[in-house]
Amino acid sequence: MKFKTTEPLSLLEAAAKMAPDCTRTTLRSWIKEGRISVDGQVETQGASQVHAGQTLSMGRRVRYAPGNVRILFEDKHLVVVDKPEGLLTVATAYEKGETVHAILKAKYKPGKVFVVHRIDQDTSGVLMFARTERAQEELKKKLEKHDIERTYYAIVEGHLPKTRGTWESYQIEDGNYYVRNTTDASLGKLAITHYKVLDTAKRYSLLEIRLETGRKNQIRAHCQMADCPIVGDKKYGSKTNPLKRLGLHALFLGIVHPTTGQKLKFTSPLPKEFTTLFPRAAHADA
């Protein structure tokens, strides 16, 4: 199915013209699943603008790997998945068990899968792996140059004094795998996190968080530093757990394909636990 636009529209509006017999709910689902491309570019945000003359096309149905890992994109160079909460990205010396990395290695065997970045076991959302060493090297270079867009949603305890700002510190991991903030550049690595308050409730705030650097536990340690720990994050000072899980979700990933140069954007729908506490967030990317 293809459709050429004749006027500027949002992706959701253009999709409605392409498939007029489908409900908006179905179209939003297709968009979030990465089934709709614009001029061959995967786009998963319904509010994104489509210009006159661009062509929408419909892709295949959603694919899953074992462990309820949803495949957002795959080719011979990389794979992007939607990681469920509770599943490890990769095994470590102190964390064992089933991992996304192992699931993908089994799926693509005898091919290889290479780690590019990680998200915490109790964090859900968009996660990317390379399928060649060259792709891994190129993607890691982009990470180091901050050329990969990564946006998270976090529900935190309390309220921040400003509606937006930047947290900056040096972070160091101690022998107990706990990340601490310091002002001493000689002790840690620079960590920069940008935040925006999207909504507030009586005891909680919903934050949009954009990573400039990507240190281990960076967001969790910075939220603790701001005296607004992420809910459910007892390790970093949280005293409440209204979601019955960690209140952190990797919402968005934007990259330039390491081989083709194609711009790719991926969004993972907010977990229902988040939208129960902050209902307005359910349509943030619609």
Tokens of 128: 């990317």
Q: Kindly report the CATH number assigned to the domain that includes residue 54.
A: 3.10.290.10
**Residue 162: inside a domain:** no
Task: pLDDT band for 284, please (50, 70, 90 cuts).
Answer: low
Query: What span, in angstroms and rounded, lies between the C-alpha atoms of 275 and 273?
Result: 6
pTM, full prediction: 0.80
Total domains, the chain: 1
User: Which pLDDT belongs to residue 33?
Assistant: 74
Tokens of 231: 């809910």
Query: Reduced to 3 states, what is the DSSP secondary structure of residue 167?
Result: strand
pLDDT digits (tens, 9 = 90+) for 58-88: 876 667 788 789 898 899 999 999 999 999 9
Question: Which of the 8 DSSP states describes residue 230?
Answer: B
Pairing status of strand 41-42 against strand 78-83: unpaired
Query: What span, in angstroms and rounded, lies between the C-alpha atoms of 70 and 81?
Result: 6
**Residue 46: inside a domain:** yes
**Residue 38: inside a domain:** yes
Query: Reduced to 3 states, what is the DSSP secondary structure of residue 256?
Result: strand
207, burial (CB in 10 Å: exposed 0-12, middle 13-18, buried 19+) = buried
**Residue 182: inside a domain:** no
User: Which pLDDT belongs to residue 39?
Assistant: 82
Query: What span, in angstroms and rounded, lies between the C-alpha atoms of 142 and 261?
Result: 12
Q: Is the pLDDT of residue 285 over 60?
A: no
178 with 235: CB under 8 angstroms?
A: yes
Tokens of 196: 């925006």
pLDDT digits (tens, 9 = 90+) for 198-229: 999 999 999 999 999 989 999 999 999 999 99
Q: Is the pLDDT of residue 140 over 60?
A: yes
110, burial (CB in 10 Å: exposed 0-12, middle 13-18, buried 19+) = exposed
User: Which pLDDT belongs to residue 60?
Assistant: 67
153 with 267: CB under 8 angstroms?
A: no
**Residue 31: inside a domain:** yes
pLDDT digits (tens, 9 = 90+) for 5-50: 999 999 999 999 998 988 988 898 888 777 888 887 777 788 889 9
151 with 175: CB under 8 angstroms?
A: no
Note down the domain range covering 52: 1-61
**Residue 49: inside a domain:** yes
Return the active site residues: 120
**Residue 25: inside a domain:** yes
Query: What span, in angstroms and rounded, lies between the C-alpha atoms of 20 and 29?
Result: 15
pLDDT digits (tens, 9 = 90+) for 85-98: 999 999 876 666 78
Per the model's pLDDT, the better-predicted residue between 189 and 64 turns out to be 189
251, burial (CB in 10 Å: exposed 0-12, middle 13-18, buried 19+) = buried
**Residue 9: inside a domain:** yes
Q: Could you tell me if residue 39 is left (phi over 0), alpha (psi between -120 and 50 degrees) or otherwise beta?
A: left
Task: pLDDT band for 2, please (50, 70, 90 cuts).
Answer: confident
User: Which pLDDT belongs to residue 96?
Assistant: 65
Per the model's pLDDT, the better-predicted residue between 119 and 93 turns out to be 119
Q: Is the pLDDT of residue 286 over 50?
A: no
Q: Is the pLDDT of residue 177 over 90?
A: no
| Residue 97 φ/ψ, nearest 5 degrees | 105, -175
